[in-house]
Amino acid sequence: MKTVVKISDLTKAHGVTPPGMIFYDTLQSVRKDINLLGYVSVIERAWEELKLNGVLCLDCRPVLYFKENGRPLSLRDRLRLQKLFWNQGVANVLVLADPTSVNVYSGLTKPQNEQSDNDTAENSLIETLARADYVQRIRTLFHDLATGHYYERNNYEKNRPVF
């Protein structure tokens, strides 16, 4: 029996992308795109480990992982997911959405320990938005990711490791 996955309105809002970008809302769509051949196994692993709802690719390279949750995530859960995301080292942005808010994380900042308490600031958290605000800003986010303005505006340079 085939499992039918209902796609949420928030996931659907990612669907209209600028030229050079594609948002994949199913793992099957990733597997079918021959242009992603070099990233399919990496995306599959992320999809399974993080239980993703979508991946945004720019020029056939994953830049944003999207996960939507039906309930608010605890700080510990968010830190665990951000750590899994960061360890993979492929996409630059992780978006974790719940029924009321959307948390946007940097893939270039080392995650905190999962044992952190609620008083500890999340060092890789770029911003938290209400769902409606995030939906209104998706087109701008996509444009800024494509042009590199997102990284400039959010000061990704400060998070870059020094060797």
Over its length of 163 residues, how does the chain's per-residue pLDDT go in tens digits?
444 445 688 888 888 899 999 999 999 999 999 999 999 999 999 999 999 999 999 999 999 999 999 999 999 999 999 999 999 999 999 999 999 999 999 988 887 765 555 545 677 899 999 999 999 999 999 999 999 888 777 765 444 443 3
Rounded to two decimals, the pTM is 0.86
Cβ contact 97:10 at 8 Å: yes
pLDDT score for 98: 94
Domain ranges of the chain: 9-156
Opening angle at CA 27, ends 22 and 33, nearest 5: 50
DSSP 36: G
Cβ contact 154:106 at 8 Å: yes
